[in-house]
Amino acid sequence: MKRALSLLAVMSCTPVNSDLIATSDLRADIQVQATGIGGSTVSASLISHKDGDPPLNFESIRLVDGDQISAATNGTTVAMQRSNLVVEYRYDAAFETAAPDQRYDVALDRSTDESAPHSFVTLPAPFVLDVPTTASRSAPLTIRWSAGSSDPVSIAVTGCATAHLGPLVDTGSTVLPKLEGSGTCDITITVVRTRTGSLDLAYGQGGSIVAEQRRTTTVSTTP
């Protein structure tokens, strides 16, 4: 799934209740995302990797006994709800707004250990993609979007051909190299503008908080 949270897919991850884990043993990966179709979402994953544990032995945290995580923006606070995924617990919240530089605060409140209430990030500016609906994979493909940001951009191509560019300086355009693949088939192009925020230092194992403007389009390609 999302960039910061997808790391868990390759780890040996065991669910554990939060009352067994100190905040100093927690890592938090938090992501705000807007896709241009209205509103925004906030997702958070809490994991533990205590000193001395094997490198890939991570525990996915289930909040219990009064521990809770919330997201706030524009004066609205939402209790983030748990999603039980295959290899992790994730906490999610949705908001109706997604304005440029809109600030999101994410707070972990704990009943018996140190809380972490001071994580925040602001949303990058939105943009519009300008990509042809058809293209030949044997020729470079120019991707354009509305520029005007100092935030880096990354580009991913998936489908019958794959590629990844970035992070790139936001100039408003880039050129994809020739792509491999056979026959006529679709590729999906995803452009992401990312901004890094400030994570509460109480998370003793670190982590990240980022906000993304994400746009996706499909292109029919020929050899």
Residues 42 and 105 in one domain: yes
Residues 44 and 32 in one domain: yes
**Could you check whether the bond before residue 167 is cis, i.e. omega within 30 degrees of 0?**
yes
Q: Is residue 221 part of a domain?
A: no
pLDDT tens digits for 152-182? 999 999 998 899 999 999 999 999 888 887 7
50-86: burial string, b at 16+ Cβ within 10 Å, e else: eeeeeeeebbbbbbeeebbbbbbbeeeeeebeeeeee
CB 20 within 8 A of CB 65: no
The domain of 37 spans: 6-125+194-213
Q: Is residue 100 part of a domain?
A: yes
Q: Is residue 223 part of a domain?
A: no
Kindly report the CATH number assigned to the domain that includes residue 16.
2.60.40
Residues 108 and 162 in one domain: no
Q: What is the pTM of this model?
A: 0.88
CB 61 within 8 A of CB 26: yes
Q: Is residue 219 part of a domain?
A: no
CB 127 within 8 A of CB 147: yes
Q: Is residue 121 part of a domain?
A: yes
Bin 74: left if φ > 0, else alpha if -120 < ψ < 50, else beta: left
- The pLDDT assigned to 5 comes to 42
- Give me the phi and psi of 6, to 5 degrees please: -70, -15
- The pLDDT assigned to 3 comes to 41
Listed in sequence order, the residues at least 6 apart from 106 whose beta carbon sits closer than 8 Å to its beta carbon are 30, 42, 44, 69, 70, 71, 72, 80, 119, 120, 209
Torsion, CA 203, CA 204, CA 206, CA 212, rounded to 10 = 0
State how far the Cα of 212 lies from the Cα of 189, in Å rounded to an integer.
16
The low-confidence residues of the chain, meaning pLDDT below 70, are: 1-13, 50-57
